[in-house]
Amino acid sequence: MKNIFLAVCFFLSCAGMVQAEQTVEVEGRYWFTDLDAKAKVTTSGLSGTDINLKSDLGLKDEDMPDFRLTWNINENNSLRFAYTSVEYDGDKNVTKTINFDGKTYTAGARVISALDLDYYRLGWIWEFLNAADDKVDIGLLTEIKGFSVKAKLDAPGLSISESEDFEGALPALGLTCAVDVYDNFEVNAEISGMTAGSYGYLYDAEIGVKWEPYENFAIEGGYRVLEIKGEDDSDFAKVSIDGPYLGALFSF
């Protein structure tokens, strides 16, 4: 929350210097997601079990709010901060023995699980190509992507409680594209990501439409995919989230 507060303060201070040709956009989305998450954690010589957090632990899909703040500095350059967060929970009697971070959860035991994800982005968009009388815009996206993944397993009947945190940040590169197909109607797409070699990767991609029925107000919808994977020797954590989204955008 401190990081979000500092980022918002930064944007608001910039907005105070905005001139007539510049705009600030406030965007809120609701993302209807499907989760695919797997993990393996080895400790003290006890080999971890490959765990599917949905089928093995009963984690349920949860929808995600997404907040974005964009400062359009001029016609070709924009600065954007984005944040999304979700908490997944599960409660299930496991059907197989699970070794996680040095602890053993025997088959039949009740396991209460949680997976929390926070995802931050701060990026610069440079629209280097304006074609077809400014109806097609293609941009280069440079970002810093920060994320925090927390996993927790509790087995009350076995008196076991174990948690594991995975945090990181990566620079990322990507492309954006927007096409005006009709008056006040736009089709857009974006993809960005980065690999850390044997330590994992992250990518984020979406395609959508935006309709502006009134000046300074737009309605949007589309489909988005986010995947994060971290690896350490044979241990790993992988979270893949995808699904449609709906949102609204205000500019001033």
Rounded CA-CA distance 91/56 in Å is 10
Cα separation values, 18 from 66, 180, 199, Å: 25, 26, 41
Contacts of 74 (CB under 8 A, 6+ apart): 21, 22
Radius of gyration of the chain (CA): 21
Q: What is the pLDDT along the chain (252 residues), one digit of tens a residue?
A: 555 555 555 555 554 444 446 899 999 999 999 999 998 888 877 889 999 999 999 999 999 999 999 999 998 999 999 999 999 999 999 999 999 888 899 999 999 999 899 999 999 999 999 987 889 999 999 999 998 888 888 999 999 988 878 788 889 999 999 999 988 999 999 999 999 888 889 999 999 999 999 999 999 999 999 998 888 888 888 899 999 999 999 999
Rounded CA-CA distance 31/11 in Å is 24
Rounded CA-CA distance 163/100 in Å is 9
CATH dotted code for 2-13+24-251: 2.40.128.90
